[in-house]
Amino acid sequence: MSKPDLAIFDLDNTILNGDSDYSMINYLVDINLLNEAAKLKNDEFIKDYQQGQLDFNQYTNFALKPYAGKTQNEINEIILPFVKTIIEPMINIFALKLIHDHYDKGHTILLASATNELIVKPIAQRLDIRNVIGTRVKFEDKKCSGEFIPPSALGAGKLKLVENWMQAHQYDSFSGVTFYSDSINDLPLMEAVEFPKAVNPDIKLESISNKRGWEVIYLPII
């Protein structure tokens, strides 16, 4: 019996109208867990990301620092209200339709985001997506270390983590696999799948998609 076709979705600026990691830092400032200087640093990092020049190690250490020393339950007490109040309004209903169209065809859905799994997993639960990849976070003695477990789920790292997931779930090739993303940072995975689809792409990904004949989807943002 053949495996169901696989549809992979990026999260930030693909399913969401915005970036969850960026929004999380600003939220932490708003609830006084980070100071105002963190917003300025956050703006610098997001510009680097948009240009495909992000130092992911440096950024992830910055993004995970607020959780260092906290248990998973303590982290959830911070993140679950964030998902409800900030992420919920960012969900693009037209992206949800793309997801449900795949479900209606019996396809398997995989959410693959560079954002750390502390944030991605609760969002995936809200989206009713069981299969999820995010940048993995290291815990020691049941407390967050503030460090991530390589590889990150960005660029070639996302491709590697997806390959690992596929192998574990008996997908032996990218034949029939669809991937939706907005970002040039996801180029390695876009190049690997049979059906790359650029969703509201950044300028670099839009240019490459047009040159290579990849489908470009412009979802309304409301």
What is the spatial distance between Cα 191 and Cα 206, in angstroms, rounded to a whole number? 14
Which pairs with CB-CB distance under 8 Å and at least 24 residues apart come from 46-50?
46/19, 46/22, 49/19, 49/183, 49/185, 50/202
Phi first, then psi, for residue 184 (nearest 5°) are -60, -25
**How many whole angstroms separate alpha carbon 81 and alpha carbon 76?**
8
Residue 21 annotated to the active site = no
User: Is residue 12 annotated as a catalytic residue, yes or no?
Assistant: yes
How many C-beta neighbours within 10 Å does residue 116 have?
23
Of 5, 12, 172, 186, the active-site residue reads 12
**Radius of gyration over every alpha carbon of the chain, rounded to an integer in angstroms:** 17
Identify residue 47 by its one-letter amino acid code: K
Of 168, 107, 105, 165, the closest CA to residue 136 belongs to 165
Q: Which of 10, 19, 21, 202 is catalytic?
A: 10
Tokens of 3: 């495996």
| Residues labelled as active-site residues | 10, 12
